[in-house]
Amino acid sequence: MMTTGTAAPPAPLLPGELDRPAAPPTRTKRVTEAVAAARRILEEEGPNALTMRRLADEMGIRAPSLYKHLSGKADLELLLIEDALFDAGEATHRALHDPGPHSPLLNLLVAYRAFAMTRPNLYRLATSGPLVRQSLPEGLEDWAGNPWFVVTGDSSLAQALWSLAHGMVILELDDRYPPGSDLDATWRAGAVAFERGAAVSERSVDEFVWSTVTRAPSSPQDPVAPRLSDG
C-alpha cells in the first residue's frame, strides 16, 4: 500500500540516489476510498471488471455520483498509476538499502520482479499505453526510476536494464514465453549480461548509430485526457 506523505525512517541516501518526491496532490477521503476500491477490483477481478458502475457499487453509490469526485475513468486510472509508481519506487529504493543476499543489481531485479508479480494487473495498467507524463506529480517518475541509475551508474545502461526488467516482467505476466520455459534461467541470463556490462567502461564499443531506424510518420495512438483536479 501507498503511504502518502508519511515520512519513512530516514535512511541515508546512497551516492546518486534521489530523495522521495513531494507527496501527490491531496486526495479527498472519498477519492482515496475510490482508488482503494478500484485497486481491489482491478487486482481481484481483473481489468474488465473495473467499470464505473462496478466501482460505484463497491462504494455503495451509483455510477454518476462518482463524477462528483473524479473527472472520469481516465482520472481514476491516473491515480492508480500514481500509486503504482510510488509503490514501485518504494520497493526498488528499499532494495538498494536492504542487505540483500546478492549484488545490488540482482537485488534490484528480484525486487522489481516480485513487485510486479504481486500486483500484476496494477503493473500492467501502470506500464501499458502512452504515459500522461504532465499529469503526474513532479519528480515522481524520476524518483521511481532512480534506483536503476544508482545500480548501473550510467543513464543509458540504466534505461536498458529497466527495459530488460520490464520486458521480462510483462512477457511473464502475459504468458508470452513458450510454455515450459525456465523463467528463472531467463532472468539469470539477463542479470549476468548486465552484471558484466555494468562493470565495464561505457564506450568500449564501435560508434554504432541507429539513424536508419525511425518511427512511422504520425501514427495515431489513443488520445488521453489531461488530468482534472478533484471536483
Partner DNA sequence: TGACATGGCTAACATCGTTAGCCATAATGG
Partner DNA sequence: CCATTATGGCTAACGATGTTAGCCATGTCA
- The option from a copy of itself, DNA, none interacting with 212 (CB < 5 to 8 A, set by class) reads a copy of itself
135-to-21, 51, 93, 212 alpha-carbon distances in Å: 15, 22, 23, 33
Cβ atoms within 10 Å, residue 41: 19
Instruction: With beta carbons less than 8 A apart as the criterion, state whether 146 and 93 touch.
Output: yes
Q: Which is nearer to DNA, 200 or 225 (CB)?
A: 225
Give min distance, CB of 75 to a copy of itself, in A. Answer: 18
Here the cell at position 188 is 539469470
Q: Does residue 20 sit in helix, strand or coil? A: coil
Nearer to DNA, 73 or 113 (CB): 73
Note whether 135 binds a copy of itself by CB under 8 A. Answer: no
Nearest-angstrom CA–CA distance, 23 and 60: 29
By CB under 8 A, name the one of 220, 225, 227, 229 that touches a copy of itself.
220
Nearest to a copy of itself of 84, 165 (CB atom): 165
Q: Is residue 7 within the footprint of a copy of itself (CB under 8 A)? A: no
Among 8, 22, 192, 228, binds a copy of itself (CB under 8 A): 192
